[in-house]
Structure 1
Amino acid sequence: MGMTLNDAIIASLDEIKEPTTYMQVYKKIMERNYYDFRGGKTPWSTVSASLGNFIRNRDSRVKRIPQKGGNFTYFLSKYESEISITALEVVDNVSTTAPAQVSGPNQGFDERSLHKLLSSFLKSTGVLSKTIFHEQSNAKDSNQKWIHPDMIGIRFLNLHTQTSQAFLKAINRLGTFELLAYEIKKEIKTDYELKKCFFQAVSNSSWANYGYLVTFELNDVLIDEIKRLNQAFGIGIIRLSSNPFESEIVFPAKYKELDFITIDKLCKINPDFERFVEQVEKYITADSRYISALGTELTNFCDSFFSSETESATYCKQKNIPLDKLLEDNGVF
C-alpha cells in the first residue's frame, strides 16, 4: 500500500524541517513522488485543504503560523524547538471539539491494545513511554492494585547547546526531565466510572510529576465534573483517538514534585519500572560522548509507536478498535 496524502505531507514536512507553505509541501510531494493525485486539476489545493485538516483535527504532529493576507506556514511539532522564537510568537488556537468516532460497541478490543496508540501520541509530543506490566510485580496482594500505572513516560528538557545542558545538570539534574504516569481505560460513560477511574489515576500517579487518565471513549456530559476533579487533584485527561496523532489533552495535568519513597517501592516490586528508572538514570548522567547511543537505547527500550496513520489504521483494524470516521472518509480504509 502506498502513502496516504497525509503521510506524504508528513514526510515532506519532515524533509523541509522549517515553516513552509502548502505550495512548497506540494512541490516536495511531487519531487519525491510520494503520492499520486490521479489527474486532479488543482492538487496543490488538495494539499492546502489537507494541511488545514491537520489543524482542525488537532493532529499533534503539525502546527501552523499565521502570515499576512490570511495565509499560513506549516511545520512539524518535533522541530518547534529549532525554529526561531520570533517566528513562533503567534500560533493559532485550534478547536477542542473531538472528531466523531464510528458508532458501535467497543467490546471487541482489549484495553492493553490502546497502549500503542497512546505511545504514538506521546512520542509526537516529545514523551517516551513504557508499559508497566502489573502481572510481573512481586506484590500480589489486592492492596497493591492501585499503585501501578498502566504506562509511564519521560520528557526531556530540550536545550540546544552542550554548555547549557551541562550547566543545568550541574545545578539540578531533576530539572532536565519530567516523569509522567498514565492510567488507561476503554471508556468512561457514567459519573460512577469517572470517579472510580479518576481516583485510581490519583493513586497510581502519586509519585510522578504529572498524572493522566486516558480513555478511548468519553461521555461529554461528564466534562464539567472532570474539570472540577482536574482543578482539585491535578490529574489530566487525554481522549485517545484511533488516529493517535489526533488524540486530545482535554485537561492538562498539574505539576508536582517526585515522590522518591513511592518510586523506590515501585522499583522493588516491579522489574519493568525498575529497568525504566535504570535506563533514565544512565541517560541523564552520561558523558556527552555517549548521549546519542544511550538515547537510542532508551528509545528502543520504551514502547514502540506508529510513524504514520496508515500503520495505526491497519493496527486498529487488526485489534477491532473502531476507526475515527475521518479516517474512513479520507479513504485510509
Structure 2
Amino acid sequence: MPMKIPTLKLAKRIPEILREQPDHRFKARELAQLIRERHPDACEAKLHNSPSLSTERDLLQQIVAEIGSQRPAMQRACEEIRVTDGRPRQYYWATKSDAEEAGQENLEDVGEESATASGTRPKLSEADLYPLLGEFAYRELGVDAMRIDERKGTNSGAAGTNRWLYPDVVGFEDVTVDWDRDLKLCVSQTGDARARLWSFEVKLRLNRANVRECFFQCVSNSSWANSAYLVAVEIGDGTLKELRTLSQLHGIGVIQLDPENPTESQILIPTNVRSSVDWASCNRLLRANGDFRNFIKKVRQFYQTGDRPETWDLLPDD
C-alpha cells in the first residue's frame, strides 16, 4: 500500500493556531512560520513535490500566498476568524464577548484606508517604488535588484515600444547561498544553474481599466526570466480575481507593495518558476540597453568567480 503524502490542510491548521491565542494578531508570514515549525513533514512533502519550490524562502512565500487565497473560505467556515482591513493584514480569533469590539476596530481600519485614499498618504510616483521594491526583494526574497531604464534602449519602433521590451526592475538570486562549499564546486562543474534571474514590472495601481494591458506588458518584457512579477501598491476591487485567471494561463506572479513598510509587502500570487533563462532574448536586450548589459555582466561575474556581486543600485543602505 503506497505511503500517504501528508498535506498542510491550512483551512484546519490556521483556525487551530488562532484559537490558541485569541488575543494575538498574526501576520500571514508569522502563521506560515508556525505552520512550518508545527508540521515539518507536510511542509517537506510540499517543498519536494512542487517543481516551483526550491528553497525554504519559496516554501514560506507559497504558504503565505495560500493563506491569503484561502482567507475568504476560512472566514465563511469559521466566523470567529477576523482579519484587519489595513496592510499588512493581521489574522486573529474573536470570541463572542469581543466580537462587537472587533467589528468597531475593523470600521476604524476602513476609515484609515479611506483617509489614505483621499490623499493623507504622500503622493508617490512609479519611480519612488523602485527602491522600495528593491528593499523587499533583498530582505524578503534574497534577490539583488537593479533598475532598467527603458529610455536607454535603442528606439526601434513607435513611441512606447521599449516598455514592452524592458521590465522596470531586474533581480539576481544566488540559489547556492546556503549550500555546502563542496556542493557548490560540484554544481559549478556540471553546468547546472546556480542563479535565478527575476523580472519586475511596477505600477502604482491596477484596476479593471488597466489590468490586462499591465499584465500583458509584464508577460512581454519578462519572457527571458526565471521568475516574473507584476508589482502594484493599489489593487482595485475585483481586479485580483482577473489577475488570478491570467496568472493561471501565463505564470506571472503578483506582489502588493507596501510603501510605508516594504518588508511587509505580500506575494498575492506566486510566479511559476521557469527552469531556464531565455538567453537569446537576453542577447537582444543587452545589445540595445546599457543597463541590461550591466546586469548580465554581474551575472557573468557570479558564474566566473562564484561570488555574489555587491554593487546593486536598489539595495537597502544598511
After TM superposition, the score normalised by the length of structure 2 is 0.63
Which of 285, 288, 309 aligns to 1:266? It is 285
Q: 1:90 & 1:202 partners in 2: Cα distance?
A: 25
Query: Is residue 2:124 matched to residue 1:109?
Result: yes
CA shift for structure 1 position 300: 2.1
Pairwise mapping of residues 1-333 of structure 1 onto structure 2 (< 5 A)?
Answer: 55-56=26-27, 58=29, 63-64=33-34, 95-96=67-68, 99-100=86-87, 101=113, 102-105=116-119, 108-124=123-139, 125-139=141-155, 141-142=157-158, 143-157=161-175, 158-173=177-192, 175-190=193-208, 192-242=209-259, 243-256=261-274, 257-286=276-305, 291=307, 295=308, 298-305=309-316
Q: 1:132 & 1:271 partners in 2: Cα distance?
A: 9
CA shift for structure 1 position 99: 3.3
Q: Is the 8 A contact 2:232 2:257 kept in 1?
A: yes
Q: 1:275 & 1:133 partners in 2: Cα distance?
A: 12
Change (3 A) 1:90 1:171: closer
Change (3 A) 1:263 1:56: same
Q: 2:180 & 2:248 partners in 1: Cα distance?
A: 36
Q: 1:90 & 1:209 partners in 2: Cα distance?
A: 19
Q: 1:254 & 1:132 partners in 2: Cα distance?
A: 22
After TM superposition, the score normalised by the length of structure 1 is 0.60
Change (3 A) 1:234 1:301: same
Q: 1:246 & 1:266 partners in 2: Cα distance?
A: 32
CA shift for structure 1 position 92: 12
Change (3 A) 1:93 1:260: closer
CA shift for structure 1 position 255: 1.9
Q: 2:131 & 2:151 partners in 1: Cα distance?
A: 19
Change (3 A) 1:131 1:90: closer
Q: 1:182 & 1:152 partners in 2: Cα distance?
A: 6
Counterpart code for 1:134? E
Q: Is the 8 A contact 1:152 1:181 kept in 2?
A: yes
Aligned to 1:328: none
Change (3 A) 1:57 1:108: same
CA shift for structure 1 position 57: 5.7
Q: Partner of 1:165: helix, strand, or coil? A: helix
Q: 1:186 & 1:92 partners in 2: Cα distance?
A: 24
Q: Is the 8 A contact 1:119 1:305 kept in 2?
A: yes
Q: Is the 8 A contact 2:163 2:217 kept in 1?
A: no
Q: Higher RCO, 1 or 2 (CA under 8 Å, sep at least 6)? A: 1
Aligned to 1:36: none
Q: 2:36 & 2:195 partners in 1: Cα distance?
A: 31
Q: Is the 8 A contact 2:33 2:60 kept in 1?
A: no
Q: 1:155 & 1:226 partners in 2: Cα distance?
A: 25
Deviations for 1:253-274, whole angstroms, at most 9, x for unmatched residues?
A: 1122311111001110111110
CA shift for structure 1 position 147: 0.3
Q: 1:132 & 1:237 partners in 2: Cα distance?
A: 19
Counterpart code for 2:223? S
Unaligned runs of 5+ in 1: 1-48, 69-84, 308-333
Change (3 A) 1:255 1:90: closer
- Range that drifts further, 108-117 or 229-238: 108-117
Q: 1:228 & 1:176 partners in 2: Cα distance?
A: 31
Identity over aligned pairs, percent: 25
Change (3 A) 1:108 1:258: same
Q: Is the 8 A contact 2:153 2:162 kept in 1?
A: no
Q: Is the 8 A contact 2:144 2:312 kept in 1?
A: no
Q: Partner of 1:300: helix, strand, or coil? A: coil
